[in-house]
Amino acid sequence: MTKKTPKGRVPSLIGGTNGRPVRVEVQRRSECYRCDDEIVAGISCIAIPELGGAFANKRRVCDACYQAILKQTSDDLEELRRL
């Protein structure tokens, strides 16, 4: 699949809807949920749990999208410190 522009606003890890992200090794081909970039088997990626239901769905993100998420989280923390 071809890489495209990520969907919507960059999410933050601050909030009650996301669990703690973990680095996982991909067992079979997967896609980044933000940019639809292919994550091939055998490579590690970040899995961010989406809490709120009976089961926690884990959304996988590539390293580039995870860096953008970390930057957004850092910006949100900086904004909270200014309060």
Mean pLDDT of the chain: 83
pLDDT the model gives residue 2? 63
Tens digits of residue pLDDT in 9-25: 777 777 656 677 889 99
Count the neighbouring beta carbons within 10 Å of the beta carbon of residue 19.
15
Write down the pTM of the prediction: 0.75
Mean pLDDT value across residues 54-68: 85
Lowest mean pLDDT among 13-17, 20-24, 40-44, 49-53: 13-17
List b or e across 26-47, with b for residues whose CB sees 16 or more CB atoms inside 10 angstroms: eeeebebbbbebebeeeeebbb
